[in-house]
Structure 1
């Protein structure tokens, strides 16, 4: 079985919800990626496909 590679595209900035603009993973998902088994990685990739980024409306800052 082929290894599931990280979806990181080297755009490592997070929105106000802690979601990466590059790969759409959360901080927790990024940090735990190497600990996940293949099924968990597939779940993260499916969740990431459905996410959108949001600005921090309280400060007007788009990036953390």
Structure 2
């Protein structure tokens, strides 16, 4: 054992945690509630894959909702 702490988990969270009722996506990071809740349990590869997918989800949220942030 090296005594070093594990590396921090990468996350797209920007501390705007509001789930849009229509799309089911967070208005800050575009993850689903299940993805947010299970993020720490996902493999690094799965997190990286999801993070690459998130920008494309923005279009699923009505622009007027995103204008609030």
TM-score between both structures, scaled by the size of structure 1? 0.71
Instruction: Indicate the structure with greater helix content.
Output: 2
Alignment counterpart, residue 15 of structure 2, candidates 4, 10, 33:
10
Unaligned runs of 5+ in 1: 56-61
TM-score between both structures, scaled by the size of structure 2? 0.67
Unaligned runs of 5+ in 2: 1-6
> Does the alignment pair 1:26 with 2:32?
yes
Aligned residues: 56
Task: Select the structure of larger CA radius of gyration.
Answer: 2
Asked which structure has the greater RCO (Cα within 8 Å, sep 6+), the reply is 1
Q: Which runs of 4+ in 1 moved over 3 A?
A: none
